[in-house]
Structures are given as C-alpha cells and as structure tokens.
C-alpha cells in the first residue's frame, strides 16, 4: 500500500471517529425543550396518550418498561423523553435505568451513573441515595444504572427489585424503566411480569421486520403485556396524507418498512 493510500485511510478513520463523537454528544443532550420542533413534541405527546389509555388504571403508579431488538434503535432517547413528557403533564414520574451493563440515562442529565440501581439492589446504597431529581422538570426523578454487575439478570429478577417497584408505585404516578435490547440480552425478560406494560422501540429503515417479530415473540413468551411498537426516526413522504407531518417519532400497533443491518459491531456503542 502506498504512503498516500495509508494517509488517506487514516484521514477517513479520523473523520469517522470525529463524526461518531459529535453524534454521541448530540444524543446525550437530546431532551425535549422549548426549541424542539412541533412535530417531535406532538409525536411524543401522542405516544404518552396512547400508553396512558392502553393500561387500565389501578391503585398505585403504573410501571412501563421499554426495550428494543438491538442497540442503535434510539430506545434510551425515546424512553427519557417519554418520561419527560409524562412529567410535563404534572404527573410524578421516575425514570429507572435497568441497563446495568451499559446504562446511558445518566448522560442525558449530566450525572454520574454511580451509585445507582445496582448499588441499591445489592444493599450498598439506600433508595434515597440513588434517586435524583432532574434539573429539567421538578416532576421527573431518575435512578441511574449504578455499578456494573457480573449478574444483572439476577439483580433485576430479585425480590429486592420487586420490593423496590412496590415502593416506587406508592410514591410515583409513572415508573418508566429503560431495559437492554431484548434480542441481545435476557435482562429485560427478568422484569416482563413485574411491569404493567412493555413498549418495543425500533428504528425506521434500520430494524429488520424479522427482528421486530422475534423481539415481540420473545416478550410474549415471557408473558409481557405488550402495549405497542414505537417507530423511531420515522421519515414520512412529503405528501398530503395523514402521516406527512410526523417525521421523527410516531407510535403504531403494526409496522411495515424497509431495513438495513440493525447491529453494526463497529458502531455498537453509538446508541441504545
């Protein structure tokens, strides 16, 4: 290989790495605010309303978990902003990062991930010590993932986790739990019967339909109450039809779109 080719390859790799860092930085700060476009805000408002009417009202707070088939579907971004949308409607909300292996919720609020959920479940910290009140909305609190554990499934399946959820139900109107991708890890399945409903997040023109079907079948097998599918990054055609105004996020009970590989190992750390 010539010196010119080597230098050109290095430059391309450097540019790619720079773009990746910028993308991660942008995602880490993407929270709904007054500058967010109407389309995106309204899509999240519709998502919140759809979930609200999908779960029967009962005594205590409702527990909703989100998952995806694979990483890079934008699940955590959708989850964090869904929790924020509930908080904006004057509900008392707590967001729980149950991705103990690789949680990202802390980055959205510029907080440290330790101590967090795993530390509370293992008895290292009290619940009061791991609950943070967000600086974006007083109605929104959150629990970060905590110290990485070699046995996250066992922690999420534990009696301590069930007791924690019961405590949170008594204190909050909504408990929104961000869980790992269901086809990559089994961790989310540990919570499937402990929550009131599950939402699957996929990405338009990235997620395979076959992977979405497998994810839904996996959730059904674990007896999860599946509320629906969120199509993230949906790009509608600019026509006069009903969906023309919803270009970023939308909520559907069915799905039909094109696809590419949903899990590029080289970029696996980009987004969950």
Domain boundaries, the chain: 31-267
Predicted confidence (pLDDT) at residue 230 exceeds the cutoff of 70:
yes
Which range is least confidently modeled, 94-103, 126-135, 174-183, 255-264?
A: 255-264
Indicate the CATH number for domain 31-267: 3.40.50.300
Give CA–CA dist 4/235, Å, rounded.
39
Name 196's Cβ contacts closer than 8 Å, sequence gap at least 6.
Answer: 55, 62, 63, 64, 225
What pLDDT sits at residue 25? 44
* Average pLDDT of the chain to the nearest whole number: 83
If pLDDT is split at 50, 70 and 90, which confidence band does 13 have? Answer: low
pLDDT tens for residues 81-129? 999 999 999 899 999 999 999 999 999 999 999 999 999 999 999 999 9
- Contact between residue 63 and residue 98 where contact means Cβ atoms under 8 Å apart: no
In terms of Cα–Cα distance, which of 169, 193, 192 is closest to 179?
192
Q: Report d(CA 233, CA 164) in Å as an integer.
A: 33
- What pLDDT does residue 14 have? 60
Question: Is pLDDT of 42 > 60?
Answer: yes
- In sequence order, which ranges of 158-205 are alpha helices (DSSP H)? 159-171
Q: What are the tokens at 84?
A: 């924020």
Question: Cβ(105)–Cβ(80) under 8 Å?
Answer: yes
Q: Which of 55-59, 206-210, 261-265 has the highest mean predicted lDDT (pLDDT)?
A: 206-210
Taking a C-beta distance cutoff of 8 angstroms, is the pair 81, 68 a contact?
A: no
pTM surpassing 0.75? yes
């Amino acid at each position: 290989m010539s010196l010119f080719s080597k230098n050109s390859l290095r430059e391309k790799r450097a540019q790619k790495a720079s773009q990746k860092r910028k993308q991660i930085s942008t995602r880490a700060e993407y929270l709904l605010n007054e500058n967010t476009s109407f389309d995106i805000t309204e899509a999240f408002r519709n998502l919140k309303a759809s979930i609200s009417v999908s779960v029967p009202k009962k005594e205590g707070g409702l527990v909703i978990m989100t998952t995806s088939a694979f990483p890079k579907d934008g699940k955590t971004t959708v989850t964090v902003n869904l929790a924020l949308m509930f908080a904006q409607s004057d509900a008392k909300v707590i967001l729980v990062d149950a991705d103990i292996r690789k949680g990202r919720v802390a980055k959205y609020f510029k907080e440290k991930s330790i101590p967090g959920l795993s530390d509370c479940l293992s008895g290292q910290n009290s619940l009061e010590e791991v609950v943070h009140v967000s600086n974006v909305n007083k109605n929104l609190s959150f629990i970060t993932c905590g110290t990485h554990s070699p046995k996250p499934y066992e922690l999420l399946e534990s009696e301590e986790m069930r007791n924690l959820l019961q405590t949170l139900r008594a204190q909050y109107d909504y408990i929104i739990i961000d869980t790992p991708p269901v086809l990559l890890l089994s961790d989310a399945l540990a919570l499937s019967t402990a929550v009131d409903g599950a939402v699957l997040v996929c990405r338009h023109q990235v997620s395979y339909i076959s992977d979405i079907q497998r994810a839904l079948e996996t959730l059904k097998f674990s007896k999860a109450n599946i509320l629906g599918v969120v199509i993230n990054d949906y790009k509608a055609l600019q026509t006069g039809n009903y969906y023309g105004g919803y270009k970023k996020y939308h909520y559907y009970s069915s799905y039909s779109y094109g696809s590419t590989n949903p899990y590029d190992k080289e970029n696996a750390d980009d987004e969950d």
